[in-house]
Amino acid sequence: MWGVIILPAQNAVSPAETQKLRTALTLLPERTRQGIANGDTGEFLEDFKAVLAGDRDDLLRLVDKTHALPDGYQPPDTVPLVKNNFYAISRDNLALRKPAEQALRLMGAAAQKDGITLLASSTYRSYDYQVTVYNRNVRLSGKETADRESAQPGKSQHQLGTVVDFGSISDAFADTGAGKWLAAHAGEYGWSLSFPDGYEDVTGYRWECWHYRYIGVTAAAFQKKWFSNIQQFMLEFINAWRAST
């Protein structure tokens, strides 16, 4: 009989990493630290290292009202969305980064098995296009209202090429089959609701039940386990980690 073989932990944590974690935590507001503080530091760091190992380019980059993208930023590997058997598109001229498009296919296929067709309505937006979107929203509803639901150019997650606005892009989407399916299952395919209900003071945006960002399956599970499933908390942590030495 073979005995039990115990392999060394692949993500063993070093004292330097534990120190770096402490430094990163000092850079964060209390709300962001909560989940980590209540858990085991070694386990947290092991999970986190798996997340970093799966990161590619800017999948986990913090982009919000106070963290703009560099001037002229363009995602590295966008592909056009074309008619396919996995999800629907609202119009031509939609695009996503390749890893996000592939993940959308997987998620769309899973939704179809449950009788749901996901409709991609808005995806990658260039800086210039965001200028148009933002200015139109300001014109239609005033700056204060526009700032609650549309980003200023350079500060939009859509410019990353890893975001999809689904369906009607309205509150009514939450009560549709697709809206409910995404709320329940998106994380299993690496997609994360960026602006959840009740967190406007954290994210800077009102609830957007239609706006999902692809962050990868490992990061989505990490976010759920350690950050109350709040994407902003996790991205703030990763930002602080990368800023600390």
Min separation Cβ 102 and Zn ion, Å: 20
Residue with tokens 């700032």: 147
Query: Which span sits near Zn ion by CB under 5 A: 44-52, 72-80, 162-170, 181-189?
Result: 162-170
Retrieve residue 187's tokens. Answer: 């994380």
Separation between Cα atoms, residue 213 and residue 59, nearest integer Å: 9
CB atoms near residue 169 (< 10 Å): 16
Assess contact for 216 and 222: CB atoms under 8 A.
Answer: no
Shorter beta-carbon distance to Zn ion: residue 34 or 176: 176
Query: Which span sits near Zn ion by CB under 5 A: 104-112, 138-146, 157-165, 220-228?
Result: 157-165
Retrieve residue 38's tokens. Answer: 């209540």
Parallel, antiparallel, or unpaired for β 163-166 and 211-214? Answer: antiparallel
Separation between Cα atoms, residue 245 and residue 243, nearest integer Å: 7
Instruction: Name residue 34's amino acid.
Output: Q
Q: At what angle do helices 217-226 and 231-243 cross, to 10 degrees?
A: 100
Shorter beta-carbon distance to Zn ion: residue 147 or 165: 165
Contact string (CB under 5 A) for Zn ion, positions 197-226, x = contact? --------------x---------------
Min separation Cβ 212 and Zn ion, Å: 8
Paired residues of 67 in beta bridges: 64
Min separation Cβ 40 and Zn ion, Å: 35
Shorter beta-carbon distance to Zn ion: residue 47 or 165: 165
Assess contact for 181 and 211: CB atoms under 8 A.
Answer: no
Query: Which span sits near Zn ion by CB under 5 A: 45-53, 62-70, 104-112, 158-166?
Result: 158-166
Shorter beta-carbon distance to Zn ion: residue 35 or 75: 75
Min separation Cβ 165 and Zn ion, Å: 4
Shorter beta-carbon distance to Zn ion: residue 27 or 68: 68
CB atoms near residue 16 (< 10 Å): 9
Q: Among candidates 114, 122, 84, which has minimal Cα distance to 188? A: 114
Report if residue 165 touches Zn ion, rule: CB under 5 A. yes
Shorter beta-carbon distance to Zn ion: residue 97 or 211: 211
Window 25-64: residues binding Zn ion (CB under 5 A): none
Min separation Cβ 70 and Zn ion, Å: 21
| Closest-approach residue to Zn ion (CB) | 211
Contact residues for Zn ion (CB under 5 A)? 165, 211
